Chains A and B, each alone.
Chain A
Amino acid sequence: MSGNLRTVSQKVWDNHVVHEEPGAPALLYIDLHLVHEVTSPQAFQGLRDRGLKVRRPDLTVATTDHSIPTTDRSLPIVDPIAAKQVSQLEKNCAEFGVPCYGFHSEHQGIVHVIGPELGLTQPGMTVVCGDSHTATHGAFGALAFGIGTSEVENVLATQCLLQRPSKTFRVQVSGTLKPGLSSKDIILALIAQIGIGGGTGCVLEYAGPAIRSLDMEARMTICNMSIEAGARAGMIAPDDHTFNYLHGRPFAPKDAAWDAAVARWKQLPTDDGAKFDREVIIDADALEPMITWGTNPGMGVPISRPVPEPGSIADPLERDSVSKALAYMGLEGGKPILGHPVNVVFIGSCTNSRISDLRTAAAVLKGRKVNPTVRVMVVPGSMEVKRQAEAEGLDKIFRAAGCDWREPGCSMCIAMNGDQLQPGEYSVSTSNRNFEGRQGKGGRTFLASPLTAAATAITGVVTDVRTIL
């Protein structure tokens, strides 16, 4: 990708091309490889079968997050299959020399929470993980994307991947978020607008004044869900927010190396006048809290609006998808979603489990009680987030309100660990996917922000947080 004017993604790409030849994808170097228990065992076995080592254990970090319980850590993992998977990761890491923040580590957490909080994720890096929400790390101006297990094996063995450059797609967000809104509403609005395949083949770059005013954790929420628009990655050019967040973190550069790094990072933002293959504009001033009503993250509406009426949709397959989603969700077309009863509120996941998310939810719940009809789970994203929340007394606010304060992990976002909805149950969830059965077979998910989740926890029905602020 040569040319004078480049986007941030093109700059990071250019800085990592190891080899190019006609008729083959580029060989791209990977700066940081994050590993977890679910998508890595077959890759480590592949290395063993071929007699290979991990080429760069010093650029690799593992943790357990997907299949672990979020209950008392002093207890063993009850599910024997999950226990085996977790111990297999720990064994693989020991055998191959990969640092592992395992089940009992003080640094354990959701892989996309610990990378940034440890300062591992840095501007201009290439970051991969066998997890589609790796897009999260793009908030730092890193080119970060999810890979399959074969590619996990490729990176373990060679620190490289065969990749083709993506198209560039700028999402310009103008205006300012109003009270009661958060970055989750921006990304849900974008996906509702462009659809869950709308970003296929693209790297999204989020830009504009509304993005610039967001802190790093709010930016991570946006980049995290880039994959829900089908995008390969999502990026935000680094700025002072980025540098201030990173400064002093365990793996961030120090002293003279810090100054040199910041000087390099300041070269990364997209050049003025660089061309994008596609562009959309979102007006933050016009947004209201968003909520999904259907069975993919693109099926979302402003919270005061009714769900779609299938009869008004011309395309037959599209009409079928809407009807099928409404039937699964037990909703009637054309009716409002506001006021719909829910059984569970889930505050957590790599989208919204960071300290600022918990502070936001706690501010709504402080001095209030959870509606007795609702089970509320608050799952911090990492041990570090949990320690910080407890130092600030957020756990006491949650517990006093009647929430369940749990140990870190992916939990009910992916429902692999026993944290799940029962068939037919409804949740308002701060996670990223509302696919059929995602939070438990037959479970029904409304995706929303931590503010909407906390407001719903109090009333027991889908609630516009602006009415209780």
Chain B
Amino acid sequence: MKPFTPFKSTLVPLPINNIDTDQIIPARFLKTTSKEGLDKNLFCDWRYNADGSDNPDFILNTPRGRKAKILLAGDNFGCGSSREHAPWALTQFGFRAVISTSFADIFRGNALKNSLLPIIVPHDVHERLFALPEDAEIAVDLASQTIQLPDGQRIEFPIDSFSKTCLLEGIDELGWIMKKEPDIAAWESRRVQAFDTRSLQ
């Protein structure tokens, strides 16, 4: 994982609550065995017409939607399935952060493992962000856990210290867990073995 660095971007507003993972990336695109190429089907059913042409009314098909790195979404973003294809599709499209008032647990965990920053803001800030002009840029700084609005105001956002360190230093979780091998082995030696799943084959 690459270290997460500060950046500035305009916003892609999707003022819809409870955007679920079936909208982010419909299940029919999960038959792939790769992580790649998911961006073209990001928000597929909202983004394309029945004949496959771009829906010009959908924000990702506008110049504004194509260049911004921050998705501004309604409450409870990412609810539904555990598919990590959702953050893969978002990051491949170019998103580096999603701002909402709340995130579904599994999506939030998956996003953090893919350098997609879930930024939780209070309702009043959320409303102000939606009201910003199209060209307004937001600065995201993970080290200080702040977003900076165009008027200079800084808003703090919460993130646990472990996820923050992993993102800032580009630490991958599996490598971290593997360093605990002696603890895992010691724990396993005390464990009551219930079964061997291979015994029914």
Residues in A lying within 8 Å of B, measured CB to CB: 18-19, 23-25, 27, 29, 31-32, 38-39, 41-42, 45-46, 50, 57-61, 66-67, 79, 81-82, 84-85, 88, 97, 99, 107, 118-120, 122, 125, 130-132, 134, 146-151, 153-154, 157-160, 162, 164, 196-197, 200-201, 227, 230, 232, 250-251, 253, 261, 296, 298, 317-318, 320-321, 324, 414-416, 423, 433, 435-438, 441
Query: Which among A120, A148, A227, A320 has the highest number of chain B CB atoms within 10 Å?
Result: A148
Point out the residue from A27, A79, A81 that lies within 8 Å of B184, measured CB to CB: A27
CB pair B198–A18 under 8 Å, yes or no, is no
Instruction: Tell me if A154 and B173 are in contact (CB < 8 A).
Output: yes
Knowing A24-B162, A58-B197, A436-B22, say if A200 contacts B180 (CB, 8 Å): no
Contacts of B191 in A (CB 8 A): 29
Cβ of B75 and Cβ of A197 under 8 Å apart? yes
Contact assessment for A437 and B26 in the assembled complex, using a CB-CB cutoff below 8 Å:
yes
A18 touches B22 (CB 8 A): no
- Closest approach, in angstroms, between the C-beta of A88 and any C-beta of chain B? 5
Q: Which residues of chain B are near A118, meaning CB under 8 Å?
A: 200
- Inter-chain contacts of A154 with B (CB < 8 A): 173-174, 177
Can you list 16 pairs linking A and B with CB atoms under 8 Å apart? Answer: A23-B162, A32-B197, A39-B84, A58-B196, A58-B198, A66-B27, A130-B82, A132-B80, A146-B81, A148-B106, A200-B105, A227-B106, A251-B199, A253-B195, A261-B194, A416-B27
- A88, A125, A149, A423: residue with the most chain B Cβ atoms closer than 10 Å: A149
Structural contact, A132 and B81, CB atoms closer than 8 A? yes
Partner of B178 from the list A97, A107, A132, A157 (CB cut-off 8 Å) is A157
Residues of A within 8 A of B197 (CB): 32, 57-61, 99, 120, 251
Contact flags B25-65 to A (C-beta < 8 A → 1, else 0): 01110111111000000000100001000000000000000
- Contact at A200–B102, with CB atoms within 8 Å? yes
User: Which of these binds chain A: B11-19, B89-97, B137-145, B146-154?
Assistant: B11-19
A413 to chain B minimum Cβ distance, whole angstroms, is: 9
For residue B159, give the distance in angstroms from its CB to the closest CB of chain A: 13
- Please name the residue on chain A nearest to B15 by beta carbon: A317
* Beta-carbon contact of B33 and A88 below 8 Å: yes
Known: A27-B177, A162-B173. A437 touches B45 (CB 8 A): yes
From A84, A148, A433, B84 is in contact (CB under 8 Å) with A148
B76 within 8 A of A: yes
Contact call B187/A79, Cβ cutoff below 8 A: no
The reply to whether B180 and A27 form a contact with Cβ atoms under 8 Å apart is yes
Q: Which of A148, A164, A438 contacts B83 (CB 8 A)?
A: A148
Bound-state CA distance A282–B27 (Å) is 33
* Docked pose: A304 CA to B139 CA in angstroms: 51
B200 surroundings in chain A (CB, below 8 A): 99, 107, 118, 250-251
When distances are taken between beta carbons in the complex, the residues of chain B under 8 Å from A150 are: 84, 110, 113-114, 173-174
Judge whether B106 and A147 touch: CB under 8 Å. yes
- Is B178 in contact with A42, judged by CB distance below 8 angstroms? no
Report the minimum CB–CB distance from A422 to chain B (whole Å).
12
Decide if B124 is an interface residue (CB 8 Å cutoff). Answer: no
Q: Given A230-B104, A435-B23, A131–B76 Cβ distance below 8 Å? A: no
Docked-complex contact B45 and A436, CB < 8 angstroms: yes
Residues 107-124 of chain B, each 1 if its beta carbon lies under 8 Å from chain A, else 0: 001100110000000000
Contact A158/B74 with A67-B31, A150-B110, A201-B105 known, Cβ cut-off 8 Å: no
